[in-house]
Amino acid sequence: MHRGLLWLAVVDLRRAWLRPSLAALAIALALIAVTFFAGQIGLRQAELLTGYEESGAATFIVEVNKVSTSDVADLVQALRTVAGVQSVLAPYNGTQLGLVADTSFVVFENEKQQESLGARTTALGVDRSFDPLRDYYVNFHDLNSNAPQAVLGAALLATSGAVRAPERNEIVVPAGVTDYVGVRSGADATVDVMYLNANPPIVQRFEGLRLIGTFELIGPDQGRFEPFWRFAARGREVLTVRRPDAPEGVATSLPILLSDELVKEFLGHVREELAARGTAPSTNLTANKLVVRAESVQAVPSIEAKVVSLLEQRGLKQDCRAVTERTFCLRLPERNNFEAALKEQKKFERGGSFFISLLLVLVAVGTAGLQVQLVLARWREFGILQAVGFSPTQILLYFAVRLYTVFAVGMMAAAAVVAILPFERTASAFGFAAGIALATASVAAFPVLLWPLLQRPAQLLRVSA
Amino acid sequence: MMWMKLAFGGFGRRFVEAIAAAIVLAVTSATVASSLMVVEGARRALNQAVRQDRPDIVQVKSRFNRALFETPRSGNLPPLTIPVYEPLIDRAELQAAVGSNQVVKRQSLFRNVVSGDSFLNIYVFGIDPDLEHEVSSFSIARGRFLSRDDHAAAVLDQASARALGLDIGGAFPIRKADGEDMQLTIVGILDKLELRAAPPRSAEAPSLNPESTFVSSGAFVNIRTSEQVFGRPTLTDALVVAGSGSNVPDLVTQLQEAFRLEPGIFVAERYSQYQRKVRDFVLTLTLFSAVSVVTVLLAGSFASNLLHDIYVDRRRQYATLMALGFSPAKAIAPAVAFGLVLGIAAAVIGGLVAGLLMPRSFAMPSLMADLGPTEPTIDWLVAASIMVISIAAAAVGLASTAVRLVGQPLATTLSEENS
């Protein structure tokens, strides 16, 4: 660039310092505001996605059919190796397997008699990777064949003790049940696990399971359970009193948590018993719903694709209707899923984006207006500069130097203020603000500067003379 | 026609400056309007919080027990879980703790109403009819509301009345604590009900709002009747209305002190949450007022400056009119008309942009954490503000020209060269 033009630009700015200073101030304030709003959007997005991820929006369910227990275990292992997958588990879900559990605690005992209070719920057998907040899913079609095939996540919120996957001799029970019975963590429970899809039902009793924690179920059942009172005299059970209208089958999605080993043991017992009776199980006695959790909400679509590819490689066909062949079906949880998370994220970023847009338009229009003012004031000078030999490009550069000097001053002032102000910001948010403001200002200023340059010098000199 | 030409004709290159000024003013108006809309939305959210949360109310409630067996002393009722607050609150102790603050006493019950060979679950609330009206909302469809002097009278919601197959004048039995039945006569039917601090709903019962997780239906009797049914004067819950919001912290301390030895009684207040909402509102107000003021000062003054250039350019035209015999007011009228049209058009466009494009829900996590998302709202104050700002910007742009025209000799103005 011609030195003379550079000198002219600097002298020009020094002489008319007020207007460029005010322009720099306006740009600085706009950059601060855009940084603030961009930071807020980023914060909101992160907060929202974290909340969704914590409640299981990065999870989806893979239902497999006609796959043996050992094949399910292999699939779980294979899926765990897929990049971007945080966890995979195959819980034994009582609503799917037709299992209920009568959990009781002794509330009175002497040498002659024993009274217990308890409740009937469903059962959930889980391994150590189970996360109570986001890994329990219920397909209400399993509870009611008229209900649509849709899985719903139900969070198990810890209320006391340790709510985690229990060991073989441990149990985790809904708080409503322990409140009703009046027991705390450390109490010994007796659990009668029942397979109801056989006549008579197959029952196995597990005694001395230590209660390690209690939880509240956040789901449509509102913690519903069927209470009962049991009386035993001289070691023999004499009476169990239930509500007369208590349902027989699995009527609630409220579970007790048991170790997967214990449930596996019970299912083995069921198979033996059914074989002894010479009947086949009416439902597949395997954990056929795999709970797959991606590392982030955004990663879910790509993980879904990888899971589909892996399952197809293993000879399974994607089909959500067929249950007679080796098929699989991907189901997104109702309400709380990655699609809802991303949609919600978009909804909440609109407010901040709107203000960012307004401020950028203001910067653009302000810059264009400033250039219009300058161009009109210097209309004749455009002609003179061209007449003495400067090319239009050089003149354009002269005005660009003026504009970008003002912009640089504003940007430095904004950077200093943003560093001091106590609001959520990042270097990337400021960089975004500065970059986009610079781009919009340039785009707005360029046509204005071209306006006189597209005319002949003589015309410029004549008009303003 | 001549005036039109005088006001809007012959701008030449300055027309581009006028357009720039109009766009700057329109964007300024849109920014200010959007900011004020957010502030207005936040103000409404805060007002709604005052109405809905009633930060001046402190709730005293007993332990909620949803798993107690109801074991009637006689009759043939099946055992049932009764989801209610336990009756643990001693009236005298409560009254002593709250001093002169108003106490809205309640007894919440849950009963099976037996009719024929079936029964229906129903919530029964013993209330003080006069005081309860001040905190809850009851809409009577037929009949009348309760009075303190009623005996064995009840007001039922429509859903419960329909389930019982009863109407005004009908009666239904409620089992008392002594095992005897009391006949409650229906004196009123409610079609809408908003019971403040209603207990959680965890048993099947007729409901006016089936989606609600809180009880939205039931039979209301006066507290004298509920005492007879319950067989005890202790309360299940109560609302204490503090004289003013600022008294709430002291009141809560007094209540916690009074019931410190009773682990089954809880004191809940919404004042702290309300205070956080107020702080959110103040922050929102501060930020968006700052955005508005800075935008008006910088962008508005810039638009004025652009207009000033246009007016300076036409100063000789106005002076010529005065020299031809027009009064100063008439001579400057084209400038005023031009400024007004430009300002009003910019304000209208800016207002429309804000009104149409502003998202329906606005949320900022570090600003509205407790206030929650607000609904930006445009009202006459917002509209008037942007109109005033635009017209003021045009007036400021014209001021110097007008002063010069009136203040300095015409000959001087006429001899000035255009910029």
Structural domains in chain A plus CATH codes: 3-48+343-464 (no CATH), 56-86+288-335 (3.30.70), 91-259 (no CATH)
For residue B419, the distance in angstroms to the closest alpha carbon of chain A comes to 7
Q: Which of B233, B198, B204, B230 is nearest to B216 (CA)?
A: B198
pLDDT for the residue B125: 92
pLDDT for the residue B76: 42
pLDDT for the residue A205: 94
Whole-number percent of chain A with pLDDT over 70: 96
Q: Across the interface, do B361 and A347 touch by the CB < 8 Å criterion?
A: yes
Q: Across the interface, do A40 and B364 touch by the CB < 8 Å criterion?
A: yes
- Burial of A77 per CB tally in 10 Å (0-12, 13-18, 19+): exposed
Minimal Cα distance from A364: which residue of B? B24
A29 close to B (CB below 8 A): yes
**B34 to chain A: which residues are within 8 Å by CB?**
354-355, 358
Q: Across the interface, do A362 and B31 touch by the CB < 8 Å criterion?
A: yes
**B78 to chain A: which residues are within 8 Å by CB?**
243-245
CA dist list (Å): B78 to A41, B114, B141, B178, B203: 56, 11, 34, 17, 15
Q: Across the interface, do A369 and B302 touch by the CB < 8 Å criterion?
A: yes
Alpha helices in A1-122 (DSSP H): 3-15, 18-54, 69-80, 94-97
pLDDT for the residue B117: 64
Write out residues 260-289 of B within 8 Å (CB-CB) of A.
Answer: none
- Which of B16, B66, B289, B419 to probe the A interface (max A CBs under 10 A)? B16
Q: Which of B332, B319, B302 is nearest to B23 (CA)?
A: B302
pLDDT for the residue A261: 93
Give A214's pLDDT tier (boundaries 50, 70, 90).
very high
Minimal Cα distance from B18: which residue of A? A369
Distance CA B381, CA A275 (A): 80
Give A14's pLDDT tier (boundaries 50, 70, 90).
confident
pLDDT at B77 over 70: no
Distance CA A414, CA A25 (A): 9
For residue B239, the distance in angstroms to the closest alpha carbon of chain A comes to 26
Distance CA A296, CA B214 (A): 35
Distance CA A155, CA B170 (A): 45
Of B357, B359, B363, the CB nearest to A44: B363
B81 close to A (CB below 8 A): yes
A304 or A246: whose pLDDT is higher? A304
B210 or A310: whose pLDDT is higher? A310
B14 close to A (CB below 8 A): yes
Minimal Cα distance from B362: which residue of A? A351
Q: Across the interface, do B361 and A180 touch by the CB < 8 Å criterion?
A: no
Q: Which residue has the tokens 């322990």?
A: A178
pLDDT for the residue A4: 78
Question: What count of other Cβ atoms lies within 10 Å of the Cβ of residue A178?
Answer: 25
B358 close to A (CB below 8 A): yes
Of the segments A93-97, A203-207, A250-254, which one has the largest average pLDDT value?
A203-207
For residue B399, the distance in angstroms to the closest alpha carbon of chain A comes to 19
Pairing of strands A151-153, A137-139: antiparallel
**B21 to chain A: which residues are within 8 Å by CB?**
369
Omega of the bond leading into A200 within 30 degrees of 0 (cis): yes
For residue B190, the distance in angstroms to the closest alpha carbon of chain A comes to 27
**A47 to chain B: which residues are within 8 Å by CB?**
365
Minimal Cα distance from B69: which residue of A? A180
Of B17, B81, B299, the CB nearest to A362: B299
Q: Across the interface, do B366 and A359 touch by the CB < 8 Å criterion?
A: no
> Three-state DSSP class for A101?
strand
Q: Could you read off the pLDDT of B291-301 as tens digits, one per residue?
A: 899 999 989 88
Give B79's pLDDT tier (boundaries 50, 70, 90).
very low
Give A262's pLDDT tier (boundaries 50, 70, 90).
very high
Whole-number percent of chain B with pLDDT over 90: 35
Tokens describing residue B399: 């001021």
How far from the centroid of its chain's Cα atoms is residue B335's Cα?
Answer: 44
pLDDT at B6 over 80: no
Give B40's pLDDT tier (boundaries 50, 70, 90).
very high
Give A419's pLDDT tier (boundaries 50, 70, 90).
confident
**B357 to chain A: which residues are within 8 Å by CB?**
354
B418 or B323: whose pLDDT is higher? B323
pLDDT for the residue A151: 85
A45 close to B (CB below 8 A): no
CA dist list (Å): A146 to A25, A95, A122, A139, A329: 66, 15, 20, 12, 19
**A26 to chain B: which residues are within 8 Å by CB?**
298-299, 302
Q: Across the interface, do A351 and B364 touch by the CB < 8 Å criterion?
A: yes
A231 close to B (CB below 8 A): no
Give A409's pLDDT tier (boundaries 50, 70, 90).
very high
pLDDT for the residue B164: 86
B121 close to A (CB below 8 A): no
B292 close to A (CB below 8 A): no
What are B102's strand-pairing partners? B241
Minimal Cα distance from A372: which residue of B? B17
Write out residues 331-390 of A within 8 Å (CB-CB) of B.
Answer: 347-348, 350-352, 354-355, 358-359, 361-362, 365-366, 368-370, 372-373, 376-377, 379
Q: Across the interface, do A423 and B366 touch by the CB < 8 Å criterion?
A: yes
Distance CA A192, CA A101 (A): 5
Residue pair A149/A189 in contact (Cβ under 8 Å)? The answer is no
Tokens describing residue B376: 């930006």
Reported ipTM = 0.73
Count of pairs with CB atoms under 8 A, one residue in A, one in B: 113
Q: Which residue has the tokens 């970059």?
A: A435
pLDDT at B75 over 70: no
pLDDT at A382 over 70: yes
A222 close to B (CB below 8 A): yes
- Interval A60-76 mean pLDDT: 88
Whole-number percent of chain A with pLDDT over 90: 31
- Interval B206-213 mean pLDDT: 79
Please tell me the number of Cα atoms within 13 Å of A170 on its side-chain side: 19
- Which of A355, A406, A425, A464 to probe the B interface (max B CBs under 10 A)? A355
Of the segments B39-43, B172-176, B371-375, which one has the largest average pLDDT value?
B39-43
Q: Could you read off the pLDDT of A150-199 as tens digits, one per residue?
A: 888 888 889 889 999 999 999 999 988 888 888 888 999 999 999 988 88
pLDDT at B80 over 60: no
Q: Could you read off the pLDDT of B241-297 as tens digits, one per residue?
A: 998 888 899 999 999 999 888 878 889 888 988 898 999 899 889 989 998 999 999
- Which of A115, A362, A378 to probe the B interface (max B CBs under 10 A)? A362
pLDDT for the residue B365: 73
**B359 to chain A: which residues are within 8 Å by CB?**
347, 350-351, 354
B314 or A105: whose pLDDT is higher? A105
Residue pair A243/A227 in contact (Cβ under 8 Å)? The answer is yes
Q: Could you read off the pLDDT of B130-168 as tens digits, one per residue?
A: 999 889 999 999 999 999 899 999 999 999 898 888 899
B309 close to A (CB below 8 A): yes
**B66 to chain A: which residues are within 8 Å by CB?**
176, 179, 223
pLDDT for the residue A410: 93
Give B317's pLDDT tier (boundaries 50, 70, 90).
confident
pLDDT for the residue B78: 42
Whole-number percent of chain B with pLDDT over 70: 93
A243 close to B (CB below 8 A): yes
Among the ranges given (A93-102, A145-154, A185-194, B350-359), the one the predictor scored with the smallest mean pLDDT: A145-154
